[in-house]
Amino acid sequence: MLNFFKGYKYIGITLAILSVIIITTFYFILKPVEVLPIYQPAMVNYEMVDSTIQHQKKYHKIADFSLTNQNGETITQDTYKDKIYVADFFFTTCQTICPIMTDHMYQIQKNIKNDDEVMLLSHTVTPNIDSVAQLKKYALEKGVIDSKWNLVTGNKKQIYELARKSYLAVKTNGDGGPFDMIHTENFMLIDKKQQIRGFYDGTKPEEIDRLLHDIEVLKQENP
The 10s digit of each residue's pLDDT in 81-109 is 999 999 999 999 999 999 999 999 999 99
Residue type, 43: M
* Helix 98-112 × helix 205-219 angle, to 10°: 40
Between CA 77 and CA 62 the distance in angstroms is: 9
Banded model confidence at residue 183, pLDDT cuts 50, 70, 90: confident
- Asked if residue 73 has pLDDT above 90, the reply is yes
Average pLDDT over residues 168-184: 73
- Asked if residue 217 has pLDDT above 80, the reply is yes
List the strands of the sheet with 186-190, edge to edge: 149-152, 118-124, 84-90, 186-190, 196-201
The closest of 37, 64, 81, 45 to 168, measured between CA atoms, is 45
> Does the annotation flag 94 for ligand binding?
yes
> Does the annotation flag 183 for ligand binding?
yes
Banded model confidence at residue 179, pLDDT cuts 50, 70, 90: very low
Between CA 151 and CA 140 the distance in angstroms is: 11
